[in-house]
Structure 1
Amino acid sequence: MRVWRCSPLWLCFPVPNGKGERLLDWKAAVKIPWGILILFAAGICIASAFVSSGISPIIGEALAGLRT
C-alpha cells in the first residue's frame, strides 16, 4: 500500500549514476496508465477494509454457496 503513495516520488530522486538523471522523467510518467494503477490501489484498500472490519469471512461464506 505504501508503494502507491510513494510512486510520485520517483520523479524526485536522482539515479545514482553520477549524471543527475531522475528515476522517472515526466515523458515516461505521462505514458503510465494511472487509471489502472489507481483502480488497483482502490482494490487493495477495499480488501484491507474488508479484512479489518471482519466482513471478509462473511462474504466468503456467502460466496461459498456459488460453487458449481
Structure 2
Amino acid sequence: MTDPKALLTEPNLADPDAAYRLIVQAHRDLSEAESAAFNARLVLILANHLGDVEILRQALALAREAR
C-alpha cells in the first residue's frame, strides 16, 4: 500500500500521449504571457483538486529539481 501523503511519481496516465496533446493544444495560439498565465491557473486548479499541501510541496520540489 502506498503512503497517501507521498507524491505518486510512477506513470499514472492511461494515455500519456493524449494528455500531452491536450496540453499542447490548450496553449495553441496563446502568447508567451498568456501561456504563462494559463499554466499558473492550471497549477492552481490542479493543486485545489489534490487538496493536500504536503503532496503539493513534494510536487513543487520535484519540479524545481528538474531545472
TM range (shorter): 0.3 to 0.5
**Rg (Cα) greater in structure:** 1
| TM-score normalised per structure 2 | 0.33
| TM-score normalised per structure 1 | 0.33
